């Protein structure tokens, strides 16, 4: 008997075919599932290697043993006249056909369902890597992260001073042309974290890191600063300053000048200088900023009082007026003081800041926001443009201009600006979140989902970002996932609207109608807009436009670019409805 005939008789060839098909299916599933649980490519290689190594012993066992109705037996002990191998062969044939059917089904599912998301994820990862590479190539070694300085005071109660001085140095360096300075929120995210400098720099895409410490005793201050080259983890420069507190501005200027000098680029120009102000006013502003950034219970009110004391002591300090303006506006909008009075004081404070410092970008943004609240959209846009011209690498101005681009319908420009803000502030969730919200409004759903995934990753899955992901799932029809994310969230009006949409889409119409009835009973314009959103998501455009006709007092752009309402853009009534709004900008219908 030939070897081939014997292999066939013993079903070795069938076992080999079944093993190969099953192994291929296992590998395909592993390549899809393992990365979702954080396993690297090494885990997939182990699976492939294990399956390859396992083929030989399986073939040896199939040669030596035969599967019979009585169980697994040695081939040499089987009576060939019973032809048990033939029956076993037919079973293997059926098994191979079943495995092949499963494999073909999985292949189709992977090809037509999973591949789009996988390819989009790969493309987004490539874009992220490309952006990082482009940033590094554009700035070369002219990029720096200023970490929060350590508080080395005996009582450990001068954190506001150590944070504030680091932030002041960061702000000085941010004024240097062609120097990429990582934003405060991302650089300070590593505070109290014992991570190696190269790892921090890698996460921030920074070539250099400036770290230091502050120690105060009475009117004396010691500041130590050191500039570290991230690639080699070596000190490029370090210095310790022992001065009186009133000389802190000279220290800040000297540190900034040393950094600029060490980066050795003629493109950087001269290092900027600190504004000389009253020592007590400066300390009060640092304390106010520290409290404002911390935002514990009562911090916002205390910060307002500190800013007010600072401007009383030194009325010529523009940043104090800017901080005071923001504090007044927030207090008014949170109903902690009379709204009209608070907004008036906020407007006066920011106008005073700009009178002292016309190039103050943050003050321009705050004035623009005040003008927008007063209905002066042209004035608002003028202030935003001036702010962006003054500080084009400030995430705040980039975000403001991205919003404006979105309101004009220029979604590609919006994405570009938000991506640039994320390059400068890479650990802040707000930029991918805002980008995702804009993309979903224009139904660029896969890009929106990937951006929101990044926001959730950075934010630790906080409520605000989960709500954005719920909107994405609702718009693309993944209602079960939307309902899953809604679990545990407070069901106030906005989430009630989201839940009504998800319930209807999931076929739970009666429950959706109950929520709709509650929403329509609320006598406010926002509730009428919510009703329109729900009807639009159901495809009932007649009811949606009826409810929109009853809406007043809501900013037009928030309705025109609402993701739920924009499903009606192809309805002939959409453009006339938009034209009926007080809508001053050209935009994409």
Q: How far apart are CA 565 and CA 492, in angstroms?
A: 20
Q: How far is CA 556 from the centre of its chain?
A: 26
Q: Identify the residue whose tokens are 């495809």.
A: 539
Residue at a domain's end among 64, 95, 123: 123
Please check whether residue 516 lies inside any domain of the structure.
Answer: no
One domain, residues 259 and 309: no
Kindly list the distances between the CA atom of residue 232 and the CA atoms of 48, 143, 207, 259, 337, in Å, as whole numbers in the listed order: 37, 15, 10, 17, 53
One domain, residues 283 and 261: no
Per the DSSP assignment, residues forming a β-bridge with 225 are: 212, 239
Task: Extract the residue ranges of the chain whose pLDDT is less than 70.
Answer: 1-12, 34-41, 62-97, 99-141, 264-276, 461-464, 583-589
Please check whether residue 413 lies inside any domain of the structure.
Answer: no
Q: What is the pLDDT of residue 126?
A: 46
One domain, residues 87 and 26: yes
Residue ranges making up the domain that contains 104: 3-123
Per the DSSP assignment, residues forming a β-bridge with 241 are: 223
> Residue 291: which CATH number?
1.25.40.10
One domain, residues 291 and 231: no
Q: Three-class SS of residue 112?
A: helix
One domain, residues 168 and 266: yes
Please check whether residue 495 lies inside any domain of the structure.
Answer: no
> Residue 215: which CATH number?
3.40.50.10070
One domain, residues 26 and 68: yes
Nearest residue to 168 (alpha-carbon basis) of 258, 249, 278: 249
One domain, residues 331 and 377: yes
Q: How far apart are CA 291 and CA 296, in angstroms?
A: 8
Q: What is the pLDDT of residue 247?
A: 75
Please check whether residue 251 lies inside any domain of the structure.
Answer: yes
Q: What is the pLDDT of residue 107?
A: 60
Q: What's the structural domain count of the chain? A: 3
């Amino acid at each position: 008997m030939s070897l081939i005939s014997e292999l066939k008789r013993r079903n070795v060839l069938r076992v080999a075919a079944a093993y190969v098909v099953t192994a291929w299916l296992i590998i395909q599933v592993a390549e899809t599932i393992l990365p979702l649980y954080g396993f690297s490519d090494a885990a997939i290689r182990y699976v492939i290697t294990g399956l390859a190594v396992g083929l030989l012993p399986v073939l040896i066992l199939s040669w030596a043993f035969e599967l019979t109705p009585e169980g697994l037996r040695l081939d040499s002990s089987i009576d060939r006249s019973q032809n048990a191998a033939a029956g076993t062969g037919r079973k293997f044939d059926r098994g191979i056909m079943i495995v092949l059917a499963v494999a073909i089904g999985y292949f189709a599912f992977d090809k037509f369902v999973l591949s789009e998301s996988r390819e989009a994820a790969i493309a987004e990862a490539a874009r992220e890597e490309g952006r990082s590479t482009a940033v590094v190539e554009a700035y070369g070694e002219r990029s720096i992260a200023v970490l929060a300085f350590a508080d080395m005071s005996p009582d450990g109660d001068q954190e506001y001073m150590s944070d504030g001085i680091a932030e002041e140095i960061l702000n000085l360096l941010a004024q240097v042309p062609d120097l990429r300075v990582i934003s405060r929120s991302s650089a300070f995210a590593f505070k109290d974290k014992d991570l190696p400098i190269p790892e921090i720099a890698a996460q921030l895409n920074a070539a250099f890191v400036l770290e230091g410490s502050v120690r105060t005793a009475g009117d004396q201050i010691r500041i130590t600063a050191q500039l570290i080259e991230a690639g080699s983890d070596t000190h490029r420069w370090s210095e310790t300053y022992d001065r009186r507190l009133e000389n802190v501005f000279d220290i800040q200027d000297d540190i900034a000048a040393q950094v600029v000098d060490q980066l050795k680029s003629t493109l950087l120009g001269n290092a900027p200088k600190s504004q000389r102000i009253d020592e007590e006013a400066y300390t009060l502003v640092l304390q106010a900023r520290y409290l404002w950034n911390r935002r514990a219970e009562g911090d916002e009110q205390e910060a307002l009082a500190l800013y007010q004391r600072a401007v009383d002591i030194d009325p010529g300090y523009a940043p104090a007026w800017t901080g005071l303006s923001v504090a007044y506006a927030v207090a008014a909008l949170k109903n902690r003081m009379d709204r009209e009075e608070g907004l008036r004081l906020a407007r006066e404070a920011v106008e005073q800041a700009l009178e002292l410092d016309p190039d103050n970008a943050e003050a321009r943004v705050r004035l623009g926001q005040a003008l927008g609240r007063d209905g002066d959209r042209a004035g608002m846009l003028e202030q935003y443009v001036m702010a962006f011209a003054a500080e084009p690498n400030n995430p705040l101005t980039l975000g403001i201009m991205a919003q404006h681009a979105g309101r004009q319908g220029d979604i590609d420009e919006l994405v570009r600006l938000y991506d640039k803000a994320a390059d400068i502030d890479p650990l802040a969730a707000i930029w991918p979140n805002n980008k995702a919200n804009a993309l979903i409004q224009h139904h660029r759903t896969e890009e929106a989902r990937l951006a929101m995934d990044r926001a959730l990753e950075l934010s630790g899955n906080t409520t605000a970002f989960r709500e954005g992901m719920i909107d994405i799932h609702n718009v693309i029809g993944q209602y079960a996932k939307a309902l899953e994310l809604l679990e545990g969230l407070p069901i106030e009006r906005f989430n009630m609207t989201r839940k009504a949409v998800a319930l209807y889409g999931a076929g739970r119409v009666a429950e959706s109608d109950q929520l709709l009835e509650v929403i329509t009973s609320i006598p406010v314009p926002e509730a009428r807009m919510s009703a329109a959103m729900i009807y639009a998501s159901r495809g009932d455009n007649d009811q949606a436009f009826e409810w929109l006709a009853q809406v007043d007092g809501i900013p037009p752009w928030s309705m025109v670019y609402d993701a739920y309402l924009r499903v009606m853009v192809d309805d002939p009534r959409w453009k006339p409805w938009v034209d009926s709004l007080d809508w001053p900008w050209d935009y994409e219908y």
